[in-house]
Structure 1
């Protein structure tokens, strides 16, 4: 079941995992059989162990980004989150589709990201 409190906690924990690259923090975000779509039509990373492995293979260095977000929609079944990620040389707009279980872990997570044009 998804609620604003659960989504807020999950995004906070996601950011903690992003900043630490601690395999335990990453794994705690997802159910054992979760599907993580890094792009809407990409092959998903399936299962917690695979998600941790793939995350760490392309990790960002701690402190290399800023991140602002707000919920667009939260229902019992899913949440949609709009965010902006700023790297030293690039900015991305993000749309996340998140499906949580009753324990607040992601069953399914899909990222839609768009790189801002350079001015």
Structure 2
């Protein structure tokens, strides 16, 4: 299993469980979480990431996320997340790795999916 795939599996677990220990397992103590590439105020440090971690969504989001490309330092994840009764997103994520395989920086590139995306 690739480093990025293992990290993505951990992210999905943390997303589903909302357990702080699962979040800590995938981010370093000094990690940065950028909610968009030009985020003026990214979450810096594990405590800020935990405070900003998504609230339970109420619906069971369906996701198709997979590793696009990776090297020893960076993994790129792409895919979609569909929120039943809500907005669907097209995603590209940058995962910048610390030596231990946790993310030291995470950047979300996403946009709401349009009907033309499925054509």
TM-score range, shorter chain: 0.7 to 0.9
TM-score, normalised by the number of residues in structure 2 = 0.87
Q: Which residue of structure 1 aligns with residue 50 of structure 2?
A: 52
Q: Give the Cα–Cα distance (whole angstroms) in 1 for the partners of residues 52 and 83 of structure 2.
A: 20
Does the 8 Å CA contact 1:29/1:105 hold for their aligned counterparts? yes
Q: Which residue of 1 aligns with 2:95?
A: 98
What TM-score, normalized to structure 1? Answer: 0.87
In the other structure, the counterpart of 2:23 is 26
Determine the C-alpha separation between the residues in 2 that align with 1:114 and 1:9.
25
Distance of aligned partners of 1:62 and 1:22 in 2 relative to their CA distance in 1, 3 Å threshold: farther
Q: Call closer, same or farther: CA 1:115–1:32 in 2, change over 3 Å.
A: same
What's the RMSD between the two structures over aligned residues?
1.7
1:114: Cα distance to partner? 0.8
Shift of 1:118: 5.6
Q: Give matches, 1:14-93, under 5 Å.
A: 14-42=11-39, 43-55=41-53, 58-61=54-57, 64-89=60-85, 90-93=87-90
The Cα of 1:98 is off from its aligned counterpart by 0.6
Q: Deviations over 1:40-83 (max 9, x none)?
A: 1112100011101111xx42337621111122221122111111
**Which contiguous aligned blocks of 4+ residues in structure 1 show a shift greater than 4 angstroms?**
none
